[in-house]
């Protein structure tokens, strides 16, 4: 039997996952095409002046998802990288002398909440019991479905599960059923920011994120998040995936409703039997294929609610920093104006929330001796004007607040600085409107209501990644690759 040739576009988490799952079969060969000169997509890394920076994801949550991924191939995460559980998990900073350090120990966490609100410890147990159920059903069942037809969800048990999982109640209302203290509410609403919307517009289903945060913990792979990518690349190549870097796709050539070959920017033609696009869905759908075969119109895409973009700063600091943890969330400004700026009236916010990561506190290998690796992130609306002048204005604004709250001079000790924002996301990833996290997980963009993982007009073209099921984030992208691989197999393409 002649082997089929599968081509996967994009060596991010979803593309690597899809390629490796299919390469595990003897019926096909797999080629993975990557536009950039290194793997990882948004999880690439770079080194400069002795510092090593993860370019994107910095939170390691849902360790069970990574364990299941590697276990599928008879491996463990520890075959490729070593994990450290962070304690405290992270700091939430409400002001210079108003900081909540989130302990890894659940009893200590309950005691901390109890000091803020009498009865909050017991209420947390009730809240987490529901969140655990949602996590188990959601991660082990719902997100594993390709979401291509209502028939996938047509079972009495699943209907009961959906009701129990608070799909039609907002996260904001759900949390307020258990707690009244504003700091507790803001703390528990924080994880849904990863999903690209405010707690008022995210279904309470996603309290499963709180279970991942509080019960499963916050971890760090030694040497950085890119170690996960290195492990996945090693596994992919072990399974026979051929990875080609600096190989940008110009067009997926389609004849009579079937993808026949891929043309690279270099002019090279690659014959295909199956194509899985892990690149930006909008870019593939609107620019890499003939418009007659597109799944969605430009009007459709323009109406989607995108998760935020980001302004990032990668800073090398020539001294050790005090009063900061590995992960630091700055909630020293009111949430409402910032959220409104991102989701309702897109503009550069006057008083942005921001996040600071100092991985060198945990892992001295990512910075020279006596120095710190400092990563700053400001969530922003997609499709904003992006210029060096605006970036510099926000750099000064954020450094002012960071220095004031942490009580130290940082600015004069910055000996390496690089910024990254909308125009970079577009240039490096063809990211629609410069988004950083894909589509927001609103109720109207969940499961069947997400862009389909299968092209409706091209029988052998599939999609994977953060703009399709199950959604944004590293663990969902890993799962997305597995889900699309199963669909390719189920349709007998191999």
CB 453 within 8 A of CB 468: yes
Domain 305-429 has CATH 2.60.120: no
Q: In the chain, list all ranges with CATH 3.30.519.
A: 305-429
pTM of the predicted model as reported, rounded to 2 decimal places: 0.96
Predicted confidence at residue 337, as pLDDT, reads: 47
Q: Is the peptide bond preceding residue 274 cis, with omega within 30 degrees of 0?
A: no
CA pair distance 73, 23, nearest whole angstrom = 11
CA pair distance 65, 479, nearest whole angstrom = 8
**How many other β-carbons are positioned within 10 Å of the β-carbon of residue 255?**
10
From the list 385, 375, 374, 329, the residue with the least C-alpha distance to 353 is: 329
From the list 285, 273, 252, the residue with the least C-alpha distance to 454 is: 285
Reduced 3-state DSSP string for 435-478:
CCCCECCCHHHCHHHCCCCECCCCCCEEECCCCCCCCCCHHHHH
Predicted confidence at residue 173, as pLDDT, reads: 96
Predicted confidence at residue 347, as pLDDT, reads: 87
CA pair distance 282, 309, nearest whole angstrom = 16
Predicted confidence at residue 460, as pLDDT, reads: 98
Per-residue burial over 384-394, b = 16 or more CB atoms within 10 Å of its CB, e = otherwise: bebeeeebeeb
Express each pLDDT in 288-305 by its tens digit.
999 999 999 999 999 999
Residues of the chain predicted below pLDDT 70: 1, 158-160, 162, 335-345
Task: Indicate the CATH number of 4-42+55-82+223-304+441-490 among 3.40.47.10, 3.40.50.1970, 3.50.50.60, 2.60.120.260.
Answer: 3.50.50.60
**What is the side-by-side order of every strand in the sheet holding 258-264?**
249-255, 258-264, 269-271
Q: In the chain, list all ranges with CATH 3.50.50.60.
A: 4-42+55-82+223-304+441-490
Express each pLDDT in 148-170 by its tens digit.
988 887 777 766 676 788 888 99
In three-state secondary structure terms, 372 is strand
**Eight-state DSSP code of residue 129:** H
Express each pLDDT in 412-456 by its tens digit.
999 999 999 999 999 999 999 999 999 999 889 999 999 999 999
Predicted confidence at residue 327, as pLDDT, reads: 98
């Amino acid at each position: 039997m002649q082997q089929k040739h599968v081509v996967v576009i994009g060596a991010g988490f979803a593309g690597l996952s899809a390629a490796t799952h299919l390469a595990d079969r003897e019926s096909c060969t797999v080629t993975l095409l990557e536009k950039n000169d290194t793997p990882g997509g948004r999880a690439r890394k770079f080194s400069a002046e002795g510092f090593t920076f993860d370019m994107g994801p910095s939170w390691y949550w849902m360790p069970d998802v990574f364990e299941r991924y590697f276990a599928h191939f008879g491996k463990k995460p520890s075959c490729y990288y070593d994990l450290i559980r962070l304690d405290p998990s992270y700091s939430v900073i409400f002001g210079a002398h108003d900081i909540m350090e989130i302990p890894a120990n659940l009893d200590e966490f309950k005691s901390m909440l109890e000091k803020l609100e009498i009865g909050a410890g017991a209420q947390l147990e009730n809240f987490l019991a529901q969140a655990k159920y949602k996590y188990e059903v959601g991660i082990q069942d719902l997100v594993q479905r390709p979401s291509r037809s209502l028939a996938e969800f047509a079972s009495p048990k699943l209907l009961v599960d959906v009701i129990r999982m608070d799909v039609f109640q907002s996260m904001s209302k759900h949390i307020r059923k258990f707690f009244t203290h504003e700091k507790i509410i803001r703390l528990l609403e924080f994880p849904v920011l990863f999903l690209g919307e405010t707690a008022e517009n995210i279904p309470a289903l996603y309290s499963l994120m709180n279970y991942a945060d509080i019960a499963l913990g916050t971890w760090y792979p030694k040497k950085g998040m890119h170690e996960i990518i290195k492990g996945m690349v090693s596994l992919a190549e072990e399974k026979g995936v051929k990875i080609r870097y600096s190989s940008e796709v110009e067009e997926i050539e389609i004849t009579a409703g079937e993808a026949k070959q891929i043309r690279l920017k270099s002019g090279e033609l690659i014959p295909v039997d199956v194509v899985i696009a892990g690149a930006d869905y909008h870019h593939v759908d609107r620019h890499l294929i003939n418009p007659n075969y597109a799944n969605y119109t430009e009007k459709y895409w323009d109406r989607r609610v995108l998760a935020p973009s980001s302004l990032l700063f990668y800073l090398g600091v020539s001294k050790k920093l005090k009063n900061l943890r590995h992960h630091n969330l700055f909630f020293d400004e009111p949430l409402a104006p910032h959220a409104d700026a991102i989701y309702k009236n897109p503009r550069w916010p006057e008083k942005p929330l921001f996040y600071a990561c100092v991985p060198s506190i945990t892992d001295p290998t990512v910075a020279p001796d006596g120095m710190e690796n400092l990563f700053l992130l400001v969530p922003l609306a997609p499709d904003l004007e992006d210029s060096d002048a605006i970036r510099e204005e926000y750099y000064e604004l954020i450094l002012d607040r960071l220095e004031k709250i942490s009580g130290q001079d940082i600015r004069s000790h910055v000996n390496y600085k690089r910024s990254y924002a909308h125009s970079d996301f577009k240039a490096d990833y063809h990211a629609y409107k410069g988004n950083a996290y894909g589509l927001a997980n609103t109720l109207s963009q969940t499961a069947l209501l997400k862009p389909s993982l299968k092209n409706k007009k091209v029988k052998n073209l599939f999609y994977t990644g953060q703009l399709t099921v199950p959604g944004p984030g590293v663990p969902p992208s890993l799962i997305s690759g597995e889900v699309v691989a199963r669909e390719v197999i189920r349709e007998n393409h191999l």
